[in-house]
């Protein structure tokens, strides 16, 4: 896919786990809850309706901030290769009343016995991209990717 | 589909033209340009990439307001039955920097020799729905539907 550095953020990692195991960790709610947010943030009540137009719900308990619900919509689902969703929509394509406003691409490719893992976030504007970077995109998504790989390797 | 009267607007019409002809008028740029906006508004430079994630571009010349470009993204494409798009995204799922913020469903069903035509707009909030209604949703989409039916019957 085509990255626009002005509005997009990208994390690229080699993971030791296979694309099949990484995919399971992204798409099975009980697995996703174990790695999705950097600890000590707790992710719970995950709901995944894994189809284009399907709902993607999470709740995060953030120490000092309380409960942060998340509601998105899957746009593309290509097993073990490509998962795309946005928080601009919720399930059945309904516009979200509030959203940060991004589309996320999770792209998996076999690399040796592991996975070339790319997580790309597309934003509405350069300002919003910079805000997401300052919120800790690279550290946050990077730490979560470490947690994901550790979990996936043990499956 | 499930309508929420607080946030959604719906136009229901019987059209004399068949679903196949109505579909052509919605998906062929040179046809869409002829009916999409109530006259004297002129629609031009229409681009339609008819697939989920494909771009939907229009430019309207509105007397007294000038040029109004529109950029959306198709979400579902079921020929002669169901066309869904949103202006929250543009082609390839990229968030739009500016948007009114709605998802549109165009639903076609055979009804006699014609079409049961439903156009549904989903909004982010009740306030935004009411704003769209005051902008003239029913008159505007209704007049466009008349223009669509006249064009489709002549195909």
Residue-level pLDDT at B103? 98
Beta-strand ranges (E) seen in chain B are 8-15, 42-48, 55-62, 66-78, 82-86, 102-111, 114-123
SS (H, E, C) A89-104: ECHHHCECCCCCCEEE
- ipTM beyond cut 0.90: yes
Q: Which chain A residues are Cβ-neighbours of B1 within 8 angstroms?
A: 92
Residues in chain A with CB shorter than 8 Å from the CB of B53 are 75-76
| Number of separate helices (H) and strands (E) present in chain A | 4, 7
Contact yes or no for A75/B104 (Cβ under 8 A): no
Q: Which two tokens stand for residue A122?
A: 């597309």
H/E stretch holding A107: strand A102-111
The first and second tokens of residue B96, run together, are: 């739009």
Can you give the pLDDT at residue A129? 96
Put simply, the answer to whether B86 touches A93 (Cβ < 8 Å) is: yes
Q: A–B: how many Cβ contacts below 8 A?
A: 63
A78 close to A92: Cβ distance less than 8 angstroms:
no
Sequence-separated contacts (24+) of A87-90 with Cβ below 8 Å: A88/B86, A88/B88, A88/B89, A88/B95, A89/B86, A89/B88, A89/B103, A90/A55
Walk along chain A (155 residues) and give the pLDDT tens digit of each residue: 789 999 999 999 999 999 999 999 999 999 999 999 998 999 999 999 999 999 999 999 999 999 999 999 999 999 999 999 999 999 999 999 989 999 999 999 999 999 999 999 999 999 999 999 999 899 999 999 999 999 999 99
Interface check for A95 against chain B (CB to CB < 8 A): the answer is: yes
Beta bridge partners of B9: B121
- Local confidence band at B1 (pLDDT 50, 70, 90 cut-offs): confident
pLDDT at B154: 97
The 8-class DSSP code of residue B118 comes to E
User: Tokens representing A83?
Assistant: 């998962």
Interface test with A, best of B72, B88, B90, B106 (most A CBs within 10 A): B88
In chain A, what residues touch B122 (CB-CB under 8 Å)? 93-95
Cβ atoms within 10 Å of B127's Cβ, excluding its own: 11
- Nearest chain A alpha carbon to B2: A92
Report the alpha-carbon distance of residue A11 to residue A48 in Å, rounded: 23
What order of strands is seen across the sheet that includes strand B8-15? B8-15, B114-123, B102-111, B82-86, B66-78, B55-62, B42-48
Chain A residues with CB under 8 Å of B125 CB are: 97
C-alpha–C-alpha distance, residues A149 and A18, integer Å: 9
Interface test with A, best of B73, B75, B87, B94 (most A CBs within 10 A): B94
- Predicted confidence (pLDDT) per residue in B105-139, tens digit: 999 999 999 999 999 999 999 999 999 999 989 99
Selected from 3.60.10.10, 3.40.50.2300, 3.30.530.20, 3.30.565.10, the CATH number assigned to the domain covering A8-153 reads 3.30.530.20
| Per-residue model confidence (pLDDT) at position A34 | 97
CA nearest neighbour of A37 among A135, A117, A130, A153: A135
pLDDT in tens, A100-118: 999 999 999 999 999 999 9
pLDDT tens per residue, range B19-55: 999 999 999 999 999 999 998 999 999 999 999 999 9
């Amino acid at each position: 896919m085509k990255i626009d550095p002005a509005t997009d953020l990208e994390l690229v990692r080699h993971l030791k786990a296979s694309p099949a195991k990484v995919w399971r960790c992204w798409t099975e709610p009980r697995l996703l809850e174990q790695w999705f947010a950097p600890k000590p943030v707790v992710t719970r009540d995950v709901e995944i309706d894994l189809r284009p137009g399907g709902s993607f719900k999470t709740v995060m308990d953030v120490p000092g901030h309380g409960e942060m619900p998340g509601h998105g919509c899957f746009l593309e689902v290509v097993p073990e290769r490509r998962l795309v969703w946005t928080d601009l929509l919720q399930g059945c394509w309904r516009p979200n009343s509030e959203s940060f406003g991004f589309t996320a691409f999770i792209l998996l490719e076999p690399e040796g016995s592991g996975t070339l893992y790319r997580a790309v976030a597309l934003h509405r504007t350069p300002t919003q991209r910079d805000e997401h970077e300052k919120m800790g995109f690279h550290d946050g998504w990077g730490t979560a990717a470490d947690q994901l790989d550790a979990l996936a390797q043990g499956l």
